[in-house]
Chains A and B, each alone.
Chain A
Amino acid sequence: MQMSHRIQIKGMVCQRCIMLVKNELDAIGAPIEKIVLGEVYLHRSEAELLSEISNRLQMLGLQLLEDKQATIVKSVEELVALFYNGSYDFPYNFRFAKEIEKNIGVSYDKISSLYLSSTGTTIEQYIIQYRIDRVKELLACTQETLSNIAYMLGYSSVAHVSSQFKLITGITPSDYRISIAQEAKML
């Protein structure tokens, strides 16, 4: 028996939608099992085929639901990079969840569960990892003190960045800086 792959399409509402989607998919030789409102079942679903389908649907004013999710994941990561690259001026009572809701226009609950289901990590984990990577970079490449680094990356205190750094990397920030300096000497 053949496997059946379900793809979800956003915007289909009537019989003509089904008809036009079928025409477009037939035109590119997609192996259709069946089409209903909002869903197409395919016998195969390689990335290449899907991106071609996505293009065809766009011409009809429709959208693959996966595309929408991928867009949200991408904007979350772009916002993380914007806020935590070290040069963002954090306003008083900055809340990441609020900013992200404002930018994407979907509730944080939804964004967060969607991010988790498509990437396998939570947004919080992603942010922690991103910030620790930035801390490492700043420790290694600049002379900034840890308290400055904490400030630049929006940590509430030096203690907070220290303990998080230790938790993720296994060593303290100052040990990390020393080990990098020694490595550089040996080279």
Chain B
Amino acid sequence: MSSLHIKNMVCARCIRAVTDILVEKGVHYNNIELGKVDLTEELSSDQLESLREALGSIGFELLDDNKSKIVEQIKNVIVNLVHSQNDDDANYKISNLIQDKVGMDYHYLSSLFSAVAGITIEKYVIQQKVERVKELITYDEKNISEIAYELGYSSVQHLSQQFKKVTGLTPSQFKQLNQNLRKPLDGI
């Protein structure tokens, strides 16, 4: 059975947007998740091209290259881990989690990721976490120490330092500024 690999999917709305396109194009599938659609039939090259165009028009990309597929899979694991509160995965080491879900050796994956994405896995994780911190700060429902705990930081200081390094602002400065400085997750 063939599957499609799609770049830049990060949330439930992305899944919905892809579903809408598949339905519109009359493509049959039996499962859709972040980054991947399992098809029930082979697509003709015409179908594939029109799908590629439709996906491209809303910021997605159909992936052909094997290495890019793996990198995208790693990104999906990280986005899932950081942005959905899934307590089962919370205690996992991220390297183990990636190794398990992708099914390849972490050292290989790590150097592949750096080469293709131009950023290390660790840095990518930090940037995703900082983005999640920004999001939680703007909701104003939790204080910084609760946010730090939720995202698995060892301390508030650790979170603050990392946040400042990435954004140039401390979390409280960010909050005081009260400007929308969030980035779309697929732009990271």
Does A associate with B in a complex? yes
* Closest chain B residue, CB of each to CB of A37: B182
Quick check: is B165 within 8 A (CB to CB) of the other chain?
Answer: no
Closest beta carbon of chain B to A81's beta carbon, Å: 23
Number of interface residues of B (CB under 8 A): 26
- Cβ-defined contact, A68 with B141, below 8 A: yes
* Closest chain B residue, CB of each to CB of A18: B184
Task: Mark A88-132 against chain B: 1 for CB-CB distance below 8 A, else 0.
Answer: 000000000000000000110110001000000000000000000
User: Which B residues are CB-close (under 8 A) to A16?
Assistant: 11, 13-14, 16-17, 58-59
Q: Classify the interface of chain A: helix, strand, loop or mixed.
A: mixed
- Cβ-defined contact, B138 with A8, below 8 A: yes
- Cβ-defined contact, B142 with A38, below 8 A: no
- Cβ-defined contact, B16 with A14, below 8 A: no
Closest beta carbon of chain A to B177's beta carbon, Å: 14
Distance in angstroms between the alpha carbons of A122 and B186 in the assembled complex: 41
* Closest chain A residue, CB of each to CB of B12: A61
User: Which A residues are CB-close (under 8 A) to B142?
Assistant: 106-107, 110
List the 10 closest A-B pairs by CB distance, nearest first. A14-B184, A37-B182, A17-B13, A16-B17, A61-B12, A16-B13, A16-B14, A13-B185, A14-B10, A13-B11
Further contacts, 12 of them, CB under 8 A, given A13-B11, A14-B187, A16-B16: A11-B11, A13-B83, A14-B185, A16-B17, A16-B59, A17-B11, A19-B17, A36-B180, A37-B184, A38-B180, A106-B142, A107-B143
Q: Interface residues, chain B, CB within 8 Å of chain A?
A: 8, 10-14, 16-17, 58-59, 83, 131, 135, 138-139, 141-143, 146, 180, 182-187
